[in-house]
Chain A
């Protein structure tokens, strides 16, 4: 029995989510292989070979794989799928996009967002925005899985010395093409990999205030910035900052919620954080029921004061 992990990468390096997925794979099967499908992705493949616990890296390289188009990446996975008992993707935007395509072609069910491996065919996964946890058993020969990265420790990024094997790239499907992207460039840590997250809610009132209040605190703490869905819907923060059931699931060492009331959909995205701080002027806000440290105060006074005090 061996497991295949589909690496999340940007051709030059391996993304952190891959490391957590390798840990989940190691809990499923004896041997872990990693597929790096990209374009000019030799550096990413070399980095994957360094991950502790990886026995083999399969590197497929072509222009068609440059932007992770679901049709082409799925075809690449399918070309080697039959060698594996388990195929695991990180539950990132990229992994979620491709995994079900592979599952359907293999005629197997997909187990989404696992948070625990009980045995080779039995897994835990949250349902109803994390309000319930289901233990499920797959009846299919190949277990096709997406991994909630917060559920598993990251495998060490170095210490391994896996062989890198080249695989022939599959042909371009020709049915979809990449046009362009708009990726916000900043020096902040990625939301799902950050050790500290400061997150703002609707109480901030405008995107100017959001930036004015939250950015200095994030800078001071070297933190990533998150937002509640209410703040995103109101246009105060970009959509990719949304923490919650339908946004990012995070579990940093420290989560500072400022002016966030704590709807269940938001709690679903952050309640596994190690330490939660809530700053809110409403003493009844549900966020206080999960906060380790609650400060009942007006955020416009308390957050700048906190920034100053750090």
Chain B
């Protein structure tokens, strides 16, 4: 069984982004870029399934600019066998990415597609579910445990108030939550090895997908600033403030 793992190149989670002065977006020139943390968990899960003998091949996919190759090399350093870059400099929205991935699913016929539940830049939380719908596959989102047995996967999901377990028939789409696993550290020998693994590049046109954006960003602004309040010297004055000034208790 093949596993397809889509990964996204995003602004590193430690970077505090700044809104551009013309309000056209956020300034991402010269900031550190990394693999979306949830996607790293997805790659780790796929590689573990290969190590367990459940999967035969792990294919990493990224959609975007040329530099996404670096993200794909990271995925291959974790353990993906090969990579596909759908290269375009167009702005890609989740629906367009889902369509590109659908085309690759048709071509590669994976038994599982594992991807992050959400990217930490646009915070959309859409692509996995959209891909599942377009490919007419079942989905198990926000996974914290995945067990593959024969033609189905038993997936434990993080839901409001606790956990839920679903059984999905393969092929299926799984999106990862934080607790699914802790991705391994990438070692230098594996980084060197990853450089020799195959990386294929295709264009959206080759896949017959129209990636035109459906949502127009009119402006991007700083959020309303919350100003710091006061420091209180002790618990008694804190209780007094809450009771008599803020009147919330």
Contact = CB atoms under 8 A, between A and B. Distances in A.
Interface in A257-285: 264-265, 271, 274-277
A175 B168 contact: yes
Contacts of A131: 16-17, 19, 26, 223
Sorted nearest first, the 7 A-B pairs with minimum C-beta distance are A100-B129, A292-B229, A109-B214, A104-B130, A175-B138, A104-B133, A183-B162
Contacts of A239: 144, 158, 177-179
Contact of A112 (B126, B142, B161): B126
A167 interface: no
Contacts of B235: 295, 297, 302, 305-306, 309
Interface in A100-136: 100-105, 107-113, 122, 126-136
Nearest to B11: A128
Contacts of A196: 248-249
Contacts of B144: 239
A295 B231 contact: yes
Contacts of A97: 129, 139, 141-142
B229 A293 contact: yes
B134 A104 contact: yes
B217 A100 contact: no
Interface of B: 11, 13, 16-17, 19, 26, 38, 93-95, 98, 117-118, 120-134, 137-142, 144, 154, 157-169, 172, 177-179, 213-223, 226, 228-232, 234-236, 238-239, 241-242, 246, 248-249
A178 B166 contact: yes
Contacts of A126: 123, 223
B8 to A, nearest CB: 14
A110 B123 contact: no
A132 B166 contact: no
Interface in A163-196: 173-184, 190, 192, 196
A127 B122 contact: yes
A40 interface: no
B214 A275 contact: no
A169 B164 CA distance: 23
Contacts of B162: 181-184, 238, 240
B214 A108 contact: yes
Interface residues of A, number: 90
Contacts of A192: 160
Interface string A20-52: 000000000000000000000000000000000
A83 to B, nearest CB: 20
Given A109-B95, A128-B11, A103 B130 contact: yes
9 contacts: A109-B95, A113-B123, A128-B120, A133-B221, A138-B215, A190-B160, A240-B159, A254-B249, A291-B229
